[in-house]
Structures are given as structure tokens and as C-alpha cells.
Amino acid sequence: MFFFEPLYLIFASPGLWLGLWAQWRVKNIFQQYSQVRLTRQQTGAQIARQILQRSGVSHIDVECMDGFSSDHYDPHSKVLRLSSLTAAGLRHTRPDANRQLR
């Protein structure tokens, strides 16, 4: 049958605490820097569209979505999904930009 092994807690606790601390730290840093004002009054999606346009990458769409730190690039549907605060997902479009330029 199943039983509880106290030694498991001794070995699992450091990893659990490290993961919780890292998650807390990332969330706090993100909140701290999300309060920084931009010199231009633009959303992350507007900035992303400008960068993609200037780079000559026209086949990637930009969509706004709700969520906290939920920016991501979907290579299958060629869509960059951003929260309105950041354009952090731009670095993920680089492989597709390189494919288009070849």
C-alpha cells in the first residue's frame, strides 16, 4: 500500500521553496517595471507592429490578449500574442523572420 515517507519532505522542500521564491521574485520584478512610463504613449502591440514592419516581417500578426506575463509567439499560426503592457515576445519571432528572408 501507499505510505508517507518523511524523508521525502527533506529532499523535496529545498526545490519547492526555490521554485516558490523564483516565482515570487519574477512576479515582483515584472510588477515593478510595469509601472515605468514610456516616452511614447503606445501599447506593446503597437510597438511590436512597428518593429515587425521595420524588419520586413509582414506575415506575422499581432494580437492583444488579457493576462499577466502571458506574451508568447505561436509559430504554427504565425501570431504574436501580447498583453497591452509589453512587447517581450518579439524575440521569439526571429526564426520565422530568418526563414522569410532566405
Determine contact, residues 68/83, Cβ cutoff 8 Å.
yes
Domain boundaries, the chain: 6-101
| pLDDT exceeds cutoff 60 at 42 | yes
CA-CA-CA-CA torsion for 94, 95, 97, 102, nearest 10 degrees?
A: 140
How would residue 102 be classed by pLDDT, with cut points 50, 70 and 90? very low
Per-residue pLDDT tens over the stretch 2-40: 788 888 889 999 999 999 999 999 989 988 877 777 677
Threshold 0.85, pTM exceeds: no
Measured over all CA atoms, what is the biggest interatomic distance in the chain, rounded to whole angstroms? 63
